[in-house]
Chain A
């Protein structure tokens, strides 16, 4: 116990001595948590629109008006031809082309049917999909208005309609920030903890101080603990600061228990740091450790469900996410913060990260050789 205390004092002193590092560990995540969630929004308000109106009728003008007043679209120009509009898309000036055919109004009233063309820049399928979905909604509403105007008398032979109502639970305002902030925070805590831990032991190797530790009568578990605890504290501090920022800046107050969240993050950090230390033990130089850390971090992040939902992945990728600790933290944070899930709802998550913690740290202790 006394040995551990001395070792810990040494580690903490080392961390606090390097003011630049300490400042970066605290400042970089804080700045990013303050700024980046505002960048993450799919709620599209500025779809740029190029209209080709070949009809110039009352109805075509009304329809265009519905587009511009909807709040989703910004009319950038009226193009004379479809080719001109395509030119606008090519230059990135327009995202969506709406082409109204000649005889639009006449066909609609006389032949009961007409057609409107939507062409979207689909390099980003997501944006294109949303743009076309909004466009169709506007078209449908417009169409309903037209119908009401012309079919008032024949109300009696109405057709059966399935009335679809939809409600959105846990985030009725559909605020993307509620979703992204817990995820970004999870990621920042992970980055800080993992980077610090993965560089630590290898640094002693590179500088040569590890030899002194090796000849001293320290037990392996004491050594690993002395490396683990300081970074655990650091990671936890970042987490708490993150919670405070989410509360003050984004008004995110966890629906569920703060303590369950902290307990989960605490166990998660032990697991993650264990993995970091393992990286550090295997690497020969800091440079190598850093590349390995980068490799794992990126895969963890990509398969963590922060930017794209895990359910949408193919089966093989979903299986890979089961061994990704980051996935569990992001999921658990979102569940606790937004849905108010409790300990029992998260029992499997708890079990799995505890398993990770035991395996990674066990391997770290086992693989750390006191000889060079």
Chain B
């Protein structure tokens, strides 16, 4: 036991000495969470659009004023012909153009029908749909105002309720996602590199001939990085609650307990990576190039898993972050207890065990 503590102390000295890495390890989650919380949103803001008003009458003017005052859009006024629209799209200046037909007001009052065309840059289909919907609903509201005196018969109205996140804050989606991503990548990266580094530099041999058991050598490393991960969890939770305004609806104890299991899962994934690689470069390529995008894209954080093709849905089951994100959403935001997350916790435990068993089988005591 005393030996182990000495070893852990040694590892800590190693880590603490390297202030630059420490800054990154502790600072990165903070920077990332703040970026995610404040910068990365899916709500529309400041979208650049152009309006080609071929009629220039009172009605078109008031529609334009409505759009302008909605604060979602910045109107580019330099466009005066159809040809310029395409050009503006190609240089990326605008995302959407609105074209009013000639004699808009006249047509509206005489033939009861006036045409308004929305042209969207559908390079990003999602964005195009959202912007088109926004504009349409502004125009429709205006039309309803016009027709207020004539009440439309047979109207079914809808009432909307946004459960758990009435203000539709982006942080409710992003915080669980960031927790899943940061903890997995940082933990896996730290352990994988730390062990391979000893191999590459030859210091592993010294450790192996020391009276410490090889398993304990690894454990002392893992414990040091585990403590760093705990610091990260604490900062993430504090920032989420006090800066991003997220609730912790469920049991804090359950949240932290499952987070600890998740960290162990990530650390053991790191150990597994270090057993299959010989150089730091290789370990790094696997843990960054190999894990980063799949974790973001298959964990259910960026895109809903239910829409994916079956093969990817099956693959997503192998991404530990998927299960952890479900736990965080349920416990932290919905406030659900262990009765609905025990399956996910078991899966994470099983993954941890699998990673460790494979690592032990592959771990060579002689180099």
Closest to A334 in B: B123
Majority secondary structure, A binding face: helix
A122 touches B303 (CB 8 A): no
CA distance A44 to B308 in the complex (A): 10
Evaluate whether A21 and B41 lie within 8 angstroms (CB atoms) in the complex, with A35-B312, A311-B95 already known: no
Chain B residues with Cβ below 8 Å from A164 are 116-118, 135-136, 139-140
Q: How many positions in chain B have a CB within 8 Å of any CB in the partner chain?
A: 124
CA distance A174 to B120 in the complex (A): 11
CA distance A102 to B298 in the complex (A): 42
Encode A201-212 as 1/0 by CB contact (under 8 A) with B.
Answer: 001001000000
Chain B residues with Cβ below 8 Å from A168 are 119-120, 122, 125, 128, 132
Chain B residues with Cβ below 8 Å from A199 are 280-281, 284
B35 touches A303 (CB 8 A): yes
CA distance A298 to B30 in the complex (A): 12
Contact of B164 among A122, A284, A286, A290 (CB under 8 A): A122
- A sample of 19 cross-chain residue pairs with beta-carbon separation below 8 angstroms, ordered by A number, consists of A21-B279, A21-B281, A42-B303, A89-B163, A114-B155, A122-B166, A143-B154, A162-B116, A162-B140, A169-B120, A195-B288, A286-B280, A288-B18, A294-B189, A302-B39, A307-B296, A311-B95, A314-B38, A339-B89
B340 touches A170 (CB 8 A): no
Majority secondary structure, B binding face: helix
The 6 A-B residue pairs whose C-beta atoms are closest, nearest first, are A317-B39, A168-B122, A122-B162, A174-B125, A119-B161, A125-B168
Evaluate whether A142 and B39 lie within 8 angstroms (CB atoms) in the complex, with A121-B163, A179-B125, A203-B281 already known: no
A81 within 8 A of B: no
B28 within 8 A of A: yes
CA distance A38 to B315 in the complex (A): 12
Evaluate whether A166 and B46 lie within 8 angstroms (CB atoms) in the complex, with A28-B285, A158-B112 already known: no
On A, residues with C-beta under 8 Å from B are: 18, 20-21, 24-25, 28-29, 32, 35-36, 38-46, 48, 86, 89-92, 108-109, 112-129, 132-133, 135-136, 139, 142-143, 146-147, 150-151, 157-172, 174-176, 178-179, 184, 187-188, 191-192, 195, 199, 203, 206, 283-288, 290-295, 297-299, 301-303, 307-309, 311-314, 316-317, 320, 331, 334-335, 338-342, 345
Closest to A198 in B: B284
CA distance A44 to B45 in the complex (A): 23
Chain A residues with Cβ below 8 Å from B150 are 157, 159
Evaluate whether A170 and B288 lie within 8 angstroms (CB atoms) in the complex, with A120-B163, A288-B18 already known: no
B293 touches A163 (CB 8 A): no
Q: Known pairs A123-B329, A143-B154; list 12 more (Cβ under 8 Å).
A: A24-B282, A28-B286, A90-B336, A115-B159, A125-B162, A159-B150, A160-B147, A165-B115, A170-B89, A199-B280, A286-B280, A317-B38
CA distance A45 to B160 in the complex (A): 20
CA distance A35 to B164 in the complex (A): 33
Counted as pairs of residues, one from A and one from B, with CB atoms less than 8 Å apart, the total is: 374
CA distance A175 to B162 in the complex (A): 28
Chain A residues with Cβ below 8 Å from B152 are 147, 159
Chain B residues with Cβ below 8 Å from A295 are 24, 27-28, 31
Encode B242-268 as 1/0 by CB contact (under 8 A) with A.
Answer: 000000000000000000000000000
B40 touches A308 (CB 8 A): yes
A48 to chain B, nearest CB (A): 8
Chain B residues with Cβ below 8 Å from A285 are 18, 197
Evaluate whether A116 and B159 lie within 8 angstroms (CB atoms) in the complex, with A24-B289, A179-B125, A309-B127 already known: yes
CA distance A157 to B147 in the complex (A): 12
Chain B residues with Cβ below 8 Å from A142 are 156
A312 touches B340 (CB 8 A): no
B101 to chain A, nearest CB (A): 9
A169 touches B119 (CB 8 A): yes
Chain A residues with Cβ below 8 Å from B139 are 162, 164
B42 within 8 A of A: yes
Contact of A112 among B18, B24, B154 (CB under 8 A): B154
Chain B residues with Cβ below 8 Å from A174 are 122, 125, 128-129
Of residues 74 through 115 on chain B, the ones whose CB sits less than 8 Å from some CB of chain A are 86, 89-92, 95, 108-109, 112-115
A40 to chain B, nearest CB (A): 5
B40 touches A123 (CB 8 A): no
Evaluate whether A165 and B117 lie within 8 angstroms (CB atoms) in the complex, with A35-B312, A129-B168 already known: yes
B164 touches A123 (CB 8 A): yes
B90 touches A341 (CB 8 A): yes
B158 touches A39 (CB 8 A): no
A28 touches B147 (CB 8 A): no
Residue among A161, A286, A307, A312 with the most chain B CB within 10 A?
A312
A28 touches B163 (CB 8 A): no
Closest to A146 in B: B154
Closest to B117 in A: A165
A245 to chain B, nearest CB (A): 15
B153 touches A288 (CB 8 A): no
A297 touches B292 (CB 8 A): yes
Chain B residues with Cβ below 8 Å from A286 are 193, 197, 280-281, 284
A198 to chain B, nearest CB (A): 9
B211 within 8 A of A: no
